Chain A
Amino acid sequence: MASLDALTRSEPVNAALSWLFASVVVLAAVESVFTAAYLWAGFAFLVAAVTAVPPLLSGDWTMVVPWPLPLVAAAAAAARAVGLYPEIAGYVAVAALALVAVVELDAFTSVEMSRRFAVAFAAMTTLAVQALWTVAQFASDVWLGTDFLTTQRELQVDIVAVTVVAVVMGAAFQWYFARFEHAGSHEHPTVTRSP
Chain B
Amino acid sequence: MTLGEALGLSDDRERLLARALQAVLAGLVVYGLATLRLGLAANAGIALAVTLLPALLRREYGYSMDAGLVLWIVLAVLLHVVGSLGPYRWFSWYDEITHTVSAAFVAGVGYALLRTFEIHSEEVDVPSEFRAVFVVVFVLAFGVVWEVFEFGAVLVSRLLGVRSPVRIFGIDDIVTDMVFNAFGAAVVAAWGTGYFDGVVGFLIRRTGSANEEGG
CB-defined contacts of B179 to chain A, threshold 8 Å: 135
Q: Kindly report which residue of chain A lies nearest to residue B126, judged by CB atoms.
A: A111
Q: Which among A54-62, A64-72, A151-159 touches the partner chain?
A: A151-159
CA distance A70 to B155 in the complex (A): 37
Please judge, given known A-B contacts A110-B127, A113-B124, whether A135 and B175 are in contact too, CB under 8 Å. Answer: yes
- B126 CB to closest chain A CB, in angstroms? 5
CB-defined contacts of A174 to chain B, threshold 8 Å: none
A159: contacting residue among B123, B125, B140, B151, CB under 8 A? B151
User: Total interface residues on A, using CB and 8 Å?
Assistant: 33
CA distance A134 to B136 in the complex (A): 16
- B114 CB to closest chain A CB, in angstroms? 9
User: Total interface residues on B, using CB and 8 Å?
Assistant: 31
Contact B151 A134 (CB under 8 A): no
A149: contacting residue among B117, B138, B143, B171, CB under 8 A? B171
CB-defined contacts of B38 to chain A, threshold 8 Å: none
Interface residues of B, Cβ cutoff 8 Å to A? 117, 121-127, 130, 134, 136-138, 140-141, 143-145, 147-148, 151, 168, 170-172, 174-175, 178-179, 181-182
Further contacts, 8 of them, CB under 8 A, given A1-B125, A127-B144, A131-B182: A110-B126, A111-B126, A124-B137, A126-B141, A127-B140, A135-B175, A149-B171, A156-B168
